[in-house]
Chain A
Amino acid sequence: MNDAYVVGAGMIDFGEHYDQSFDDLLESAYLALLDDVDHGIDPQADIDAAWYGTIDIAGEGSSGASVAHATGLFEKPITRVENACATGSDAFRNASLAVRAGAADVALVIGAEKMLDDTAGLIGSAALERLWRGRGVTMPAYFGMRATRHMDQYDTTREQIAQVSVKNHENGTKYPHAHQQFECSVKDVTESPTVSYPLNLYDCCPVTDGACAVLVANEDRAREFTDDPIRHAGFGLSSDSFQRGGDAALTNFPASRHASRAAYEMAGIAPGDVDVAEVHDCFSITELVTYEDLGFCEEGQGGQFVEEGRSALDGDTPVNPSGGLLSKGHPIGATGVAQVAEIYEQLRGEAGDVQVDDPQVGLQHNIGIGRNATGAVSCVNVLQRP
């Protein structure tokens, strides 16, 4: 097996892009990537294949042909990947797998989503799909259920949950691509309108359009593109359902535990080795339980972990320096790709105002809900300075 390296990244500002088509978003991310490659790239000659992450909510970007059209990369194999909210991170994982297997020397990963074109459909289908499976449960409810149980079981406080949002919004004001650039207090969070008790508006990520691209190359080719490639050291992908009966799924996401353990083992690291992480924080509670799932702290200690500032920019394990999904936004197909791009920037020391202190190992994580209720998918990628 070859090693795979990230050798470039390009992202558009996340936000409201009513005025731009799906093609516009893909084009912009692609052009930003080409511009980012240190030693330049001849895309027609250099790129062997592409993996495209989208769940295509807008109904406009359906197949690999969308990427071919937007980039001009015709006559190349382009595969669309869809895997709930882990779509972008799984597209990256698949591109890396192809590079490792020797099926491609250089692969493009590109993710895009237009979330603002049609949001009613998401809530409607989640609520009404099936009588018993979903029971009218919406996204904030799936995640909010962990909050209720976590508070009951571990005496986690509502304020600790809100602190995740406070931290990520503060980081977001320092990150240029973030959608919502404002700071908020714990009180602002807990007094914002109730979305799904116990979660309030500021516990929820915004609805955001976005696109991002990264370039993956094998060891032989990586240094053609940059003197500072970042190694894709490990990955894991797992699924779970809380109707299987395991009580751990009432408070946490066992899929994240399985995926992260696989990624750690492959990379030959332990959770304590992670210097910076971009993790799924679609809701504040999601990040809090993810500290536990990823092994950054013991189960039940997520509230203390954030309260003690350990996940802050200057903490021992900075989490979501980009502002996370809570501040940056969550354009599903682009989300994971953007997290990979952010970790790439961090490990190269190019993260500007949100740069953490000399990181060697970075982690990217998504959790997704599927089948309108209980199915959960998690994808974890570990990046490392070679």
Chain B
Amino acid sequence: MSGPRYHRTRAQDQRLVGFECTDCGWVAYPDERRTCKSCGAAPAEFEEVALATRGEIQTFVVQQYLPDDIETPQPVAVVDLPQVDGEGEAARVYGLLTESSLEEIDVGTEVDARFREMFADGTRPVNSFKFSVPRADKAGDGGDGE
């Protein structure tokens, strides 16, 4: 994880803000440049939209073999994060899952975004979002998991 790469996407890594194409409604997240990756508008105009912290798993796998600095087994999912106001398209993102087991997750399962340390860049922690099954939905667990 290089420093410059980290800085380039820091705003999106640390805030759930997407960018909606004013032509076709597709929501760019976390990348936003000057062209639309869905309809091909160039230049495209984007509007900032706030994304909800709760989304829905579209598909997932549970990885067993990863570099040493990532814990395994590691579930990773494609998650659709709707917009806060409930309008428009969802943002479709890859999300690492945390505090969740294979038995708890499926296509269609709702998950919450949680801000976590992702990796260490040298001595500096790199923070962003992971996802987990909502605590209240877990039987026998009264805590909020934070």
A binds B: yes
Q: A residues near B, CB below 8 A?
A: 123-124, 127-128, 130-138, 140-141, 144-149, 152-153, 193-199, 241-245, 250, 373
On whether the beta carbons of A127 and B67 are closer than 8 Å, the reply is yes
Q: Tell me the residues in window 106-126 of chain B with beta carbons closer than 8 Å to chain A beta carbons.
A: 106-108, 118-119, 126
Could you pull out 22 A-B pairs where Cβ atoms are within 8 angstroms? Answer: A123-B67, A124-B67, A127-B66, A131-B118, A131-B126, A132-B9, A132-B30, A133-B31, A133-B94, A136-B76, A138-B63, A138-B65, A138-B66, A140-B61, A145-B60, A148-B59, A149-B107, A152-B59, A196-B63, A196-B65, A197-B102, A250-B78
Residue contact B92 to A135, C-beta cutoff 8 Å = no
- With A145-B59, A195-B65 as known contacts, state yes or no: A127 contacts B70, CB within 8 Å: yes
Nearest CB in chain B to that of A246: its residue: B38
Residues of chain B lying within 8 A (CB to CB) of residue A250: 58-59, 78
Complex Cα spacing A148 to B78, Å: 11
Query: Of B61, B102, B107, B128, which one neighbours A131 at CB under 8 angstroms?
Result: B128
Interface size on B, residues (CB 8 A): 41
Tell me the smallest distance from the CB of B114 to a CB of chain A, in Å. 14
C-alpha spacing A261/B119, complex, angstroms: 42
Smallest CB separation, A288 vs chain B (Å): 15
Q: Which residues of B contact A (CB under 8 A)?
A: 1, 5-6, 9, 12-13, 26, 29-31, 37-38, 58-67, 70, 73-74, 76, 78, 89, 92-96, 102, 106-108, 118-119, 126, 128
Given A127-B70, A132-B30, A145 and B61 contact (CB-CB distance below 8 Å): yes
Please, which residues of chain A bring their CB within 8 A of the CB of B126? 131
Given A127-B67, A132-B128, are A149 and B9 neighbors across the interface (CB < 8 Å)? no
Does the CB pair B106–A152 fall under 8 Å?
Answer: yes
Whether B65 contacts A137 by the Cβ 8 Å rule is: no
Give 14 A-B pairs besides A137-B63, A195-B64, A244-B37 with Cβ atoms closer than 8 angstroms: A130-B5, A131-B6, A131-B128, A132-B93, A133-B30, A137-B76, A140-B63, A145-B78, A148-B59, A148-B61, A149-B59, A198-B61, A245-B92, A250-B78
Question: Which residues from chain B contact A194 at a C-beta distance below 8 Å?
Answer: 62, 64
Nearest first, the 10 closest Cβ-Cβ pairs linking A and B are A149-B59, A135-B94, A197-B62, A144-B61, A132-B30, A152-B107, A145-B59, A141-B61, A196-B63, A196-B61
Contacts of A134 in B (CB 8 A): 94
Residues of B within 8 A of A243 (CB): 37, 92-93
Which chain B residue shows the least CB distance to A197? B62
Bound together, the chains give a CA A241 to CA B12 distance in angstroms of 20
CB-CB under 8 A from A152, the residues of chain B are: 59, 106-108
Q: State in angstroms the CA–CA spacing of A199 and B62 once bound together.
A: 9
Question: Which residues of A are found within 8 Å of B62, using beta-carbon distances?
Answer: 194, 196-197
B59 nearest CB across to chain A (Å) = 4
- B96's contact among A123, A136, A195, by CB below 8 Å, is which? A136
Given contacts A131-B118, A132-B13, A152-B106, contact A123 B65 (CB under 8 A): yes
Cβ-defined contact, A197 with B9, below 8 A: no
Interchain Cβ contacts within 8 Å, total number: 109
A150 CB, min distance to chain B CBs, angstroms: 9
Query: Could you tell me the distance in whole angstroms from the C-beta of B113 to the nearest C-beta in chain A?
Result: 12
Shortest beta-carbon distance from A257 to chain B in Å = 17
Nearest residue, chain A, Cβ from B57: A148
**Set of chain A residues within 8 Å of B31, measured between Cβ atoms:** 132-133
Tell me which residues across on chain A come within 8 A of B73, comparing CB atoms.
197
Which residue of A is nearest B63, CB measured? A196
Is the pair A131, B9 in contact by a Cβ cutoff of 8 Å?
A: yes
CA distance A127 to B58 in the complex (A): 20
Q: How far does the alpha carbon of A234 sit from the alpha carbon of B73 in the complex, in Å?
A: 44
Return the chain A residue nearest B70 by Cβ.
A136
A149 contacts which chain B residues (CB < 8 A)? 58-59, 107
**What is the minimal beta-carbon distance from A319 to any residue of chain B, in angstroms?**
24
- Across-interface contacts of B93 in A (CB, < 8 A): 132, 135, 243
